[in-house]
Amino acid sequence: MKHFTTIKDIARELNISVSTVSRALRDTYDVNKETRDKVLAMAAELNYKPNFNATGLAKGSSHNIAVILPFITNYYFSTVITGIQEVAYQGGYNIVLHVTNDSPERELSIVNNLPITSLDGLLVSISSSSDACNHFQEVMNMGVPVVFFDRVAANIETSKVMQDDYNGAFEAVEYLISCGYKKIAHIAGPEGLTFTQRRMQGYLDALKKHDIPVKEDWIICSGFSQECGESDAYQLLECADVPDAIFAVNDRKAIGAMLTLKKRNIKIGKEMGVMGFTNDPASTIISPTLTTMAEPAFDIGRKSCELLLKHIAKSYFHPEEIVLPGRLIARESTMR
C-alpha cells in the first residue's frame, strides 16, 4: 500500500529517461515542447505528486518554514498567522506551527528539536522572558534564516517586523491628554520585552512633552492577560491618588481593567478614560466600546513572511527592520 506515482513511473510509461521527466515537470532547461506536453499529460493521468522529501533531500531545501510564537488563541497572533499563511501559500511554502505557550523552556526545547535540516527558515515571536536568544543565533549560524515579528530579539542581527510601538503609545497618550485626562496610568506588559519597553517609553515621552510628571505608582508591569488587567486596575484604585485614565499595553488588559471599573461602578470615559492597543474585536463588543491603537496584524504577518522568503532566496539578503504604523480608533471609553 501507499505507493505513489514517481517520475520513474512516468519515464517508464513514456519510454524516456527520468531526467527528462524531471526537467519537463519543472519547466526548466530546454525540453522539447512535445515531450514536455506528453510528460505533463502522463503526470496528470497517473495523478503524480512530487515527493517533497526527495526534492528536499536532493536540493538541500524543503519548502517548509517554521512559525514559532507564544500563543495562537488571541486575535493578534491568529491574524498574524493568517497573513503569514497568505504569503507562504502563494510562494508554495508550508508553514509548520510551533506554540511555546510563552514558556522559555518550551521555546528552547522546540528550537533545539527543530528538524532544522528540513526547514528553509524561521518566523518567530519570542516568549516573554527569553532574554537569552542564543538558540536563535545558533540556528542562524547554521545558515537557516530567521525573521522576528512583534516580539523581536533585540540583540540578533536579522530582519524584524513590528508595529510602531513607540509612536503608537506616544500618540495614544497624547490623545488621552487631548481628551482632558491629566492623571494617566499605564498598565504595562512584562518587563524585558522590547515592544513593551517601547510602548512604555512612548507613554513616558508623551507625558514629558506635556509636562506631566510621572508617578511610579501609576505604572504597573504584569502579564498580558485580561486577568492581569483586572488586578492591575484594582491596584490602581488603591493608590492614594487615583488616576483618571488608564493606558493599557493591549486590549485584553484594557478590557480586564474595564471589567474592574464596571464592578466598582466607576463610569468609564467620564470618570476614568481607558485606552487599549491592538484593536481586538472584543474592543467593539465591550460596553462602552474601547478606544484603541489598531495594530496592522495581518500586514505584519505578510511582511515578515515576505522578508523571510527573500532571506531564503538569497543568502546575502541584507536585514531589514520594518515598522508598521498603527491607527488610532476613538471609541466610547475615552468620551467624557
Partner DNA sequence: GTGAAAGCGCTAACAC
Partner DNA sequence: GTGTTAGCGCTTTCAC
Summarize as ranges the residues that interact with its own copies (CB under 8 A). Answer: 1-2, 4, 49-54, 56-57, 60, 62-64, 71-75, 78-79, 81-82, 85, 89, 94-99, 110, 114-118, 142-144, 226, 255, 259, 262, 281-282, 285-287, 315
* Helix, coil or strand: residue 30: coil
How far apart (Å, rounded) are the C-alpha atoms in residues 126 and 130? Answer: 7
Residue 18 binds which entry of its own copies, DNA, none, CB below 5-8 Å type-dependent:
DNA
The residue ranges that bind DNA (CB under 7 A) are 3-4, 6-8, 15-20, 22-23, 25-26, 28-32, 34-36, 48, 50-51, 54-55, 57-60, 117
How far apart (Å, rounded) are the C-alpha atoms in residues 181 and 245? Answer: 6
Task: Provide, rounded to whole angstroms, the least separation between the CB of residue 237 and its own copies.
Answer: 20
Residue 31 binds which entry of DNA, its own copies, none, CB below 5-8 Å type-dependent:
DNA
Output 200 or 233, the one with its CB closest to its own copies. 233
Task: Provide, rounded to whole angstroms, the least separation between the CB of residue 116 and DNA.
Answer: 11
| Residue among 324, 307, 302 at smallest CA distance from 147 | 307
Residue 32 binds which entry of DNA, its own copies, none, CB below 5-8 Å type-dependent:
DNA
Output 143 or 213, the one with its CB closest to its own copies. 143
Ranges assigned E (strand) in 236-317:
245-248, 273-278, 291-294
Contact by Cβ (8 Å): 121, 63: no
Output 15 or 265, the one with its CB closest to DNA. 15
Task: Provide, rounded to whole angstroms, the least separation between the CB of residue 1 and DNA.
Answer: 12
Task: Provide, rounded to whole angstroms, the least separation between the CB of residue 34 and its own copies.
Answer: 26
Residue 224 binds which entry of its own copies, DNA, none, CB below 5-8 Å type-dependent:
none
Assess whether the previous peptide bond of 70 is cis (omega < 30° from 0). Answer: no
Task: Provide, rounded to whole angstroms, the least separation between the CB of residue 231 and its own copies.
Answer: 16
Output 60 or 143, the one with its CB closest to DNA. 60
Q: Are β-strands 94-99 and 64-69 bridged in parallel, bridged antiparallel, or unpaired?
A: parallel
**Cβ contacts of residue 75 below 8 Å, gap of 6+?**
251, 278, 280, 281, 282, 297
How far apart (Å, rounded) are the C-alpha atoms in residues 163 and 199? Answer: 11
| Residue among 226, 245, 266 at smallest CA distance from 186 | 245
